[in-house]
């Protein structure tokens, strides 16, 4: 006789699934749009929806253009001074060069970085890297490792994925910069891009599912994520368009003494929409036929959804930027050296949103400060022992000035005694970036 006994087994399974409603997904997409892209969406919806009315026309675009003209007259440079047009194919290079000025690099490394940037094509890639590598190594009398280290610095600039040597590297850079709710997801996406990119492009989801030991639906979700969140051509947004599309700031900070005044430019100068009173009056007419009533009701619902999304976008962005400005008040008053670390994960927890959503929002919004125009992402620097990389670099250089004969190991020991448990190799990296020679030569 066969005896059956119930058993309990624990099995771990990774499954990716979509749990957001279509309306919520559309709302999150609206949050992520730059102001220029949102205006494109609004213009399209106003043309297509007869009940949508423009209550206040866009004045922010003119403001941004006027500000750029003023900066040009003053011979000043600003990250926001970018117009993406076909007549100026160097806008991506200009954008990257502007960011390079915010990095702590030695004169030698900066020259190498600028040379690498000039080899970045319109798509954001460095094609024929082997040939370029040989050329630059001769030009600057450096080895392959040194060139690669500077390339890694360039690849940290925006847009995410710029400076990549292949599609695979481009996507991997973007995955590294994406803030996932779980580290395990990042590992899965990296495995797919690193080892199964061809299968993904060919739609061979079953083979990927078998290799990763997950459901085919999970692979489909991975493909959707990559398609919606990663950009295979990160440089195209900065050139090659027939129409001008300037970077438009969403906020401005003004200082009055020690008081910080935050201006929500989208709310005060941006487009505002409403629902036509004429069509609302038609709905209250009992003589209207059923087909017309249904048509108007559907259009009114779509109009209200868009208006609510814009209002929620403005509210969320104000909450987000107020937190950033509060944390970075010393930077706003005193300059770049006083930026403090601010993790996007902290902002996500405070706003009860996912880190990936916050990441997309801060990457596409700009703020005018007393020190120039910055993306919100630049005001959320990573944590290096409680400091930003810029502040840490200055601190290390200060210790080198204090103890000019000390080796990197001794400098690391001094920093450790001062509460910064830093590795010798990290000290060496900052010393080389500053152009200092070894203690033996000094």
Q: Is 395 part of any domain? A: yes
The chain-wide mean pLDDT, for the chain, equals: 81
Peptide bond into 402 cis (omega under 30): no
Does 301 lie in the same domain as 205? Answer: no
Q: Of 288, 299, 176, 241, which Cα lies nearest the Cα of 36?
A: 241
Residues 90-108, mean pLDDT to the nearest whole number: 77
Q: What is the pLDDT of residue 22?
A: 61
Q: Is 121 part of any domain? A: no
Q: Is 241 part of any domain? A: no
Q: What is the pLDDT of residue 172?
A: 93
Structure token pair of residue 191: 């495995």
Q: How confident is the model at residue 35 (pLDDT cuts 50, 70, 90)?
A: confident
83, 196 in Cβ contact below 8 A? Answer: no
Q: What is the pLDDT of residue 363?
A: 77
Identify which has the larger pLDDT, 229 or 60.
Answer: 60
Q: What is the pLDDT of residue 4?
A: 52
Tell me how far apart the alpha carbons of residues 379 and 296 are, in angstroms, rounded to a whole number. Answer: 45
Structure token pair of residue 116: 């690498």
Does 425 lie in the same domain as 346? Answer: no
Q: What is the pLDDT of residue 225?
A: 83
How many other CB atoms are found less than 10 A from the CB of residue 124?
A: 24
Does 347 lie in the same domain as 278? Answer: yes
Q: Is 124 part of any domain? A: no
Q: Is 119 part of any domain? A: no
Tell me how far apart the alpha carbons of residues 424 and 412 are, in angstroms, rounded to a whole number. Answer: 6
Question: What pLDDT digit, counting tens, does each position of 339-373 carry?
Answer: 888 888 888 888 888 777 787 788 778 999 988 88
Q: How confident is the model at residue 104 (pLDDT cuts 50, 70, 90)?
A: low
| Residue where a domain terminates, one of 336, 353, 380 | 380
pTM of the model: 0.59
Does 351 lie in the same domain as 254? Answer: yes
Tell me how far apart the alpha carbons of residues 11 and 220 are, in angstroms, rounded to a whole number. Answer: 22
Q: How confident is the model at residue 74 (pLDDT cuts 50, 70, 90)?
A: very low
Residues 414-439, mean pLDDT to the nearest whole number: 74
Q: Is 22 part of any domain? A: yes
Q: For the chain, what is the domain count?
A: 3
Q: Is 68 part of any domain? A: yes
Q: What is the pLDDT of residue 156?
A: 87
Q: What is the pLDDT of residue 372?
A: 84
Does 263 lie in the same domain as 368? Answer: yes
Which domain, by its residues, includes 421?
A: 389-433
Handedness of CA 436, 372, 120, 125 (dihedral sign): positive
- The yes-or-no verdict on residue 183 having pLDDT over 80 is no
Tell me how far apart the alpha carbons of residues 80 and 68 are, in angstroms, rounded to a whole number. Answer: 8
- The yes-or-no verdict on residue 192 having pLDDT over 80 is yes
- The yes-or-no verdict on residue 375 having pLDDT over 90 is no
Q: Is 56 part of any domain? A: yes
Identify which has the larger pLDDT, 388 or 152.
Answer: 152
- The yes-or-no verdict on residue 87 having pLDDT over 50 is no
Does 414 lie in the same domain as 365? Answer: no
Q: What is the pLDDT of residue 340?
A: 83
Strands (E), 291-426: 366-369, 372-375
Contacts for 415 with CB less than 8 Å, ≥ 6 apart: 395, 396, 399, 421, 422, 427
Handedness of CA 139, 140, 144, 148 (dihedral sign): negative
Question: What pLDDT digit, counting tens, does each position of 158-179 carry?
Answer: 888 999 999 999 999 999 887 7
Does 44 lie in the same domain as 71? Answer: yes
Does 316 lie in the same domain as 416? Answer: no
- The yes-or-no verdict on residue 432 having pLDDT over 50 is yes
Identify which has the larger pLDDT, 25 or 66.
Answer: 66
Does 374 lie in the same domain as 255? Answer: yes
Question: What pLDDT digit, counting tens, does each position of 382-409 carry?
Answer: 766 566 666 677 778 878 888 888 888 8
Question: What pLDDT digit, counting tens, does each position of 264-297 carry?
Answer: 999 999 999 999 999 999 988 888 899 999 999 9
Structure token pair of residue 239: 């050139």
Identify which has the larger pLDDT, 55 or 355.
Answer: 55
Structure token pair of residue 24: 């919520």
- The yes-or-no verdict on residue 80 having pLDDT over 60 is no
Q: What is the pLDDT of residue 324?
A: 94
Q: How confident is the model at residue 97 (pLDDT cuts 50, 70, 90)?
A: confident
Does 347 lie in the same domain as 258? Answer: yes
Does 373 lie in the same domain as 402? Answer: no
351, 361 in Cβ contact below 8 A? Answer: no
Tell me how far apart the alpha carbons of residues 104 and 391 are, in angstroms, rounded to a whole number. Answer: 9
Does 301 lie in the same domain as 369? Answer: yes
- The yes-or-no verdict on residue 199 having pLDDT over 60 is yes
- The yes-or-no verdict on residue 304 having pLDDT over 90 is yes
240, 89 in Cβ contact below 8 A? Answer: yes
Phi, psi of 309 (to 5 degrees): -65, -40
Residues 220-241, mean pLDDT to the nearest whole number: 77
- In 141-180, alpha helices (H): 144-154, 167-177
Please report, rounded to a whole number, the percentage of residues in the chain having pLDDT higher than 70.
Answer: 81
Q: What is the pLDDT of residue 434?
A: 65
Residues 80-104, mean pLDDT to the nearest whole number: 60
431, 408 in Cβ contact below 8 A? Answer: yes
Phi, psi of 167 (to 5 degrees): -60, -40
Q: What is the pLDDT of residue 341?
A: 84
- DSSP letter (8 states) at residue 374: E
- The yes-or-no verdict on residue 261 having pLDDT over 90 is yes
């Amino acid at each position: 006789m066969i005896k059956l006994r119930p058993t309990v087994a624990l099995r771990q399974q990774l499954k990716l699934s979509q749990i957001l409603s279509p309306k919520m997904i559309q709302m999150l997409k609206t949050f992520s749009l730059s102001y220029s892209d949102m205006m494109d969406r609004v213009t399209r919806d106003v043309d297509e929806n007869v009940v949508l009315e423009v209550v206040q026309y866009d004045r922010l675009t003119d403001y941004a253009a006027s500000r750029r003209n003023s900066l040009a007259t003053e011979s000043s440079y600003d990250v926001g001074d970018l117009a993406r047009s076909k007549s100026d194919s160097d806008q991506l290079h200009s954008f990257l060069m502007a960011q390079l000025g915010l990095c702590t690099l030695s004169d030698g490394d900066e020259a190498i970085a600028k040379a690498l940037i000039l080899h970045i094509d319109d798509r954001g890639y460095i094609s024929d890297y082997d040939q370029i590598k040989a050329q630059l190594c001769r030009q600057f009398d450096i080895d392959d490792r040194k060139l690669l280290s500077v390339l890694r610095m360039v690849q940290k600039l925006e847009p995410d994925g710029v400076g990549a040597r292949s599609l695979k590297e481009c996507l991997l850079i973007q995955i590294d910069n994406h803030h996932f709710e779980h580290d395990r997801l990042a590992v899965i996406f990296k495995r797919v891009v690193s080892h199964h990119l061809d299968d993904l492009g060919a739609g061979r989801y079953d083979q990927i599912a078998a290799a990763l030991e997950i459901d085919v639906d999970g692979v489909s979700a991975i493909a959707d994520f990559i398609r919606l969140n990663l950009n295979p051509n990160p440089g195209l947004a900065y050139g090659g368009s027939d129409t001008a599309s300037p970077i438009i700031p969403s906020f401005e900070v003004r200082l009055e003494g020690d008081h910080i005044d935050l201006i929500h430019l989208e709310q005060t100068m941006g487009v505002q929409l409403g629902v036509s009173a004429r069509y609302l009056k038609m709905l209250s007419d009992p003589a209207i036929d059923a087909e017309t009533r249904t048509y108007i009701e559907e259009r009114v619902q779509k109009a209200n959804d868009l208006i609510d999304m814009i209002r929620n976008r403005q509210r969320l962005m104000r909450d987000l930027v107020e937190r950033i400005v509060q944390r970075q008040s010393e930077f706003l008053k005193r300059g770049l050296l006083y930026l403090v670390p601010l993790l996007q994960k902290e902002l996500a927890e405070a706003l009860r949103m996912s880190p990936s959503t916050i990441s997309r929002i801060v990457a596409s919004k700009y703020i005018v400060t007393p020190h120039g125009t910055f993306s919100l992402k630049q005001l959320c620097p990573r944590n290096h022992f409680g400091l930003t990389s810029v502040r840490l670099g200055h601190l290390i250089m200060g210790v080198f000035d204090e103890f000019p004969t000390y080796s990197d190991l001794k400098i690391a020991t001094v920093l450790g005694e001062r509460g910064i448990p830093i590795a010798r190799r990290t000290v060496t990296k900052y010393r080389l970036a500053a152009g200092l020679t070894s203690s033996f030569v000094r």
